[in-house]
Structure 1
Amino acid sequence: MVGAGILGLPYAMSQLGWGPGVTILVLSWMVTLYTLWQMVEMHEIVPGKRFDRYHELGQYAFGDKVGLWLVVPQQVIVQAGCDVIYMVTAGRSLMKFYNISCPDCKPIKLTYFIMMFAVVQFFLSNLPNFNSIAGVSFAAAIMSLSYSAIAWVASALRGVQPDTDYGSRYHSSAGNIFGFLSGLGTVAFAFSGHSVVLEIQATIPSTSEIPSKIPMWKGSLLASIVVALCYFPIAFVGYLVFGNKVEDNILISLEKPGWLIASANIFVVIHVIGSYQVFAMPIFDMLESFLVLRMKCKPSSTLRILTRSSFVAVTMFIGIIFPFFGSLLSVLGGIAFAPTSYYLPCIIWLIICKPKRYSLSWFCNWFCIVFGVSLTILSPIGAVRDIIVQFKTYRFFS
């Protein structure tokens, strides 16, 4: 759950400011913890049946056709979007590591670093399932904790500089407004685990004595506590130290000590190697099921290799074309992450569980829905403007 989006939180704070930034970050953590609990509870809410896919739960709540078309596109955008972001993140971190480790070496384009990361994913993508990437996932989790700690500790050790400014990072009223909206999406992107919760819970055995929701909720609660311990320090300390001059990736702002920052960037790369697969596996399952069941393709290792390699190639190509880390975070955060993490579980809960009108549960769910829908509507507006502005000076494949 501690994903690459954490590296953009100090930048989001510089767009939002202290008061709104702290409020939205804390609210987002509370809302997504609540909706995470709902997802875990609804996995086996129908006796004798397990909703092993997000779209299966959506189909039960909204009907087969509506549920499928309401959930699947959102889920695919989240998972594929994450993998595009991870391509860009890994490429930028590899380039930062290269530049720190060998300052006198010939510069290498970001495109080539993204391609290096893609080569690793071409191999890992042909592993069969979630359990087969358990080791990679464990290493990724350790790395995410490590680079998160390095980012905020190194920032704290650097200390607040005399020229640090917490005023607006923009020079116009329009810039302030659109920047604020973009910051909302960056925060939303950071809370991205919900799209694969049911798929992960499906791998846990369930009995009448120990239903899967018990160990799943323990793990989810621990993960959410770790998220808070990582997110809040890096967001607040990063902004405190760099102010409105912080980069959209906090590790890019940090330069010293060189060996520590280089290590942190390698940790990021190891982390996104595992995270890429966690978000790609459900898409592989979806694509292969579609090709075999609907298109009547014969299941084979050739089909697996072609399907999965094609997905990796597409995410690599998109990452090379649009390497706008901060703006991509915000666009995807608003369009896809807010629905799947903030309010779609609440809508499903209202339909299935039918809490009493004006009860605490009813109010909590409607608050989450209003909060999440606001993020979905507002944040892409600012992010798209940022991308348009960056395109004015951007050179493709540079």
Structure 2
Amino acid sequence: MSRDQFQKNSMYIETPEAFTDGSKNFDDDGRAKRTGTWVTASAHIITAVIGSGVLSLAWAIAQMGWIAGPAVLLAFSFITYFTSTLLADSYRSPDPVHGKRNYTYSEVVRSVLGGRKFQLCGLAQYINLIGVTIGYTITASISMVAVKRSNCYHKQGHDAKCYISNNPFMIIFACIQIVLSQIPNFHKLSWLSIVAAVMSFAYSSIGLGLSIAKVAGRGPAVRTSLTGVQVGVDVTGTEKVWRMFQAIGDIAFAYAYSNVLIEIQDTLKSSPPENQVMKRASLIGILTTTMFYMLCGCLGYAAFGNDAPGNFLTGFGFYEPFWLIDLANIFIAVHLIGAYQVFCQPIFGFVESKSKEKWSNSQFVNGEHAVNIPLCGTLHVNFFRAVWRTAYVVITALIAMIFPFFNDFLGLIGSLSFWPLTVYFPIEMYIKQSKMQRFSFTWTWMKILSWACLIVSIISAAGSIQGLAHDLKKYQPFKAQQ
């Protein structure tokens, strides 16, 4: 197959020259030989999954209580793992081991389900990826601000007015991402994902330890209940419903990684079969994250009760020890620097491959220029890649400055992406590939699962939109006073 054919078939990651001499540096389809293992794939998954979502789980469980909260967490973890195994088998088609590689989620859908659903999948996937990168910009800036606010509260007291704007820190985060965005593709990201995964364990463990210390310290009594926040005491009946819907969206966001699963799987070595390795990595990643989620969510609720903050490390559920709070928030920011790249690389690859296809003779789009950098070796610079990726980072940062609302934004992203990307397409592709008989038992319960998840996505999206509208009303007068 020629290089041009590869570029036309690929929506993601620059395509190297095809070699037909069986060079050990290239895979059977002419692309650079992949070196990923279950370790690197697990790191990518943990980086993508244990993100800012973990910080809102105490609040989410507070809205639903001791019964519904953990039950919803477990339900989402099971559904996510189940559909991820279906998706892993779709990476190669028609055979999951020897079939043709599909390099992106959208290509998998096009290969199995056809054109119209391919377009819908691409729209859902890229809207979600853009939303996640905006959400991570918001969250990283909140964590950076929390470091300064923590020091302010430590010096001036917990009642001090320590208002600090998020915008300068969003600009700092964007500047870092402009540099890291010049990493050409996912294959070069393993080191960054491993660092980010370590950071996620670190700050989750700090939050967990602080929650345990607060519970064990027997400070002021907190109110918890089997049904969460109480109508007439904490919230009105209407607020209770909206908050539960939003909490479901937050939990959905906390498990969102299906939209980059195929791209992660495409980094794995071809032997052993990628689908087997990916299933193992998904199991490890989801078991690990579910354990952390249950501990952080439940212990966070036990520590703060019905007054749990939306983000228990930056919402100042904890004030002391201030240096440990600072360290945890620094870890969050470092983690999100890596997580941002995991989610934006598919967007970069899609735009760049389409541009190369459309302007195949343009030196600006296709030219690679070698630049020698002391201590770093030779860096290959592409002018189009540099300009386009910089523009993307700047635009997402500007949008983040307009909508700096943590929980509502996470809930909206989670609810919009959960059903189509995590449930609908994996189930439909499995039904199609297995030639499952309509109205058989398995076909019926899979369809019921899909429809149930659609309903969940709709109500959680409604809750998040209501929350965003409510926050915008409060935010405008607040800004006017600053």
Q: Would the TM-score normalized by the shorter structure come out above 0.5?
A: yes
Matches within 5 A, 1:105-254: 108-159=164-215, 161-166=219-224, 167-168=229-230, 170-207=234-271, 210-252=272-314, 253-254=317-318
CA distance in 2, matches of 1:243, 1:371: 30
> After the TM superposition, which parts of structure 1 deviate over 6 Å for at least 4 consecutive aligned residues?
none
> 1:363 offset after TM fit, Å?
4.9
SS at match of 2:383: helix
CA contact (8 A) 1:58 1:70 kept: no
Q: CA deviation at 1:168?
A: 2.9
More helix by percentage:
1
SS at match of 1:393: helix
Give SS of 2:164's match.
coil
Q: How many residues align?
A: 395
Q: What residue is the counterpart of 2:53 in the other structure?
A: 5
Amino acid at match of 1:158: K
Amino acid at match of 1:385: Q
Aligned to 1:81: 131
Secondary structure of the corresponding residue to residue 122 of structure 1: helix
Deviations 1:104-134 (A, max 9, x none): 5985311111111111101000111112222
Report deviation, 1:101. 3.4
The alpha-carbon deviation at position 285 of structure 1 amounts to 0.3
1:96 aligns with 2:146: yes
After TM superposition, the structure 1 = structure 2 runs for residues 1-398 of structure 1, keeping only pairs within 5 Å, are 1-47=49-95, 48-64=99-115, 66-103=116-153, 104=155, 108-159=164-215, 161-166=219-224, 167-168=229-230, 170-207=234-271, 210-252=272-314, 253-294=317-358, 298-300=365-367, 301-356=382-437, 361-395=442-476
Separation of aligned partners in 1, 2:330 and 2:442? 44
In 1: Cα distance, 2:178 partner to 2:418 partner: 26
Separation of aligned partners in 2, 1:342 and 1:152: 30
Work out the CA distance in 2 between the residues paired with 1:364 and 1:223. 26
Instruction: Please report how far the alpha carbon of residue 155 of structure 1 lies from its aligned counterpart in structure 2 after TM superposition.
Output: 0.8
Contact map agreement 1:55 1:67 (CA 8 A) in 2:
no
Task: Write the letter of the residue equivalent to 2:294.
Answer: F
244-253 or 287-296, larger mean C-alpha shift? 287-296
SS of 1:192's partner is: coil
For residues 176-209 of structure 1, give each alpha carbon's deviation from its aligned partner in whole angstroms, at most 9, with x where no partner exists. Answer: 11111111111110111111111111122215xx
> What SS does the corresponding residue of 2:123 show, helix, strand or coil?
helix
Tell me which moved more, 157-166 or 218-227: 157-166
Unaligned runs of 5+ in 1: none
Q: How far did 1:157 drift?
A: 0.7
Indicate how the Cα distance of structure 1 residues 294 and 79 shifts in structure 2: closer, same or farther if over 3 A, else same.
same
**More displaced 10-residue stretch of structure 1: 218-227 or 263-272:** 218-227
SS at match of 1:203: coil
How far apart are the structure 2 equivalents of 1:337 and 1:78?
A: 9
Question: Which one-letter code corresponds to 2:281 in the other structure?
Answer: G
Distance (whole Å) between structure 2 residues aligned to residue 240 and residue 379 of structure 1: 24
Q: Normalising by structure 2, what TM-score?
A: 0.78
Q: Which amino acid aligns with 1:62?
A: L
- Aligned residue for 2:389, secondary structure, equals helix
| Structure 1 residue 144, shift from structure 2 partner | 0.5
2:58–2:296 contact (8 Å) kept in structure 1: yes
Aligned equivalents of 1:242 and 1:41: distance in 2?
42
* 2:379 paired residue number: none
CA shift for structure 1 position 385: 0.9
Q: Letter of the aligned partner of 2:288 in structure 1?
A: V
Q: Which residue identity does 2:132 align to in structure 1?
A: C
SS in 1 for 2:54: helix
CA contact (8 A) 1:88 1:114 kept: yes
2:171 alignment partner AA? M
Shift of 1:20: 1.7
CA deviations 1:158-188 (Å, max 9, x no partner) are: 1165342233375322111111111111111
Tell me by how many angstroms 1:241 deviates. 1.2
Report the residue type matching 2:58 in the other structure. Answer: P
Moved more, 91-100 or 285-294: 285-294
CA contact (8 A) 2:93 2:111 kept: no
**RMSD of equivalent CA atoms:** 2.1
Cα distance between partner residues in 2 of 1:36 and 1:380: 22
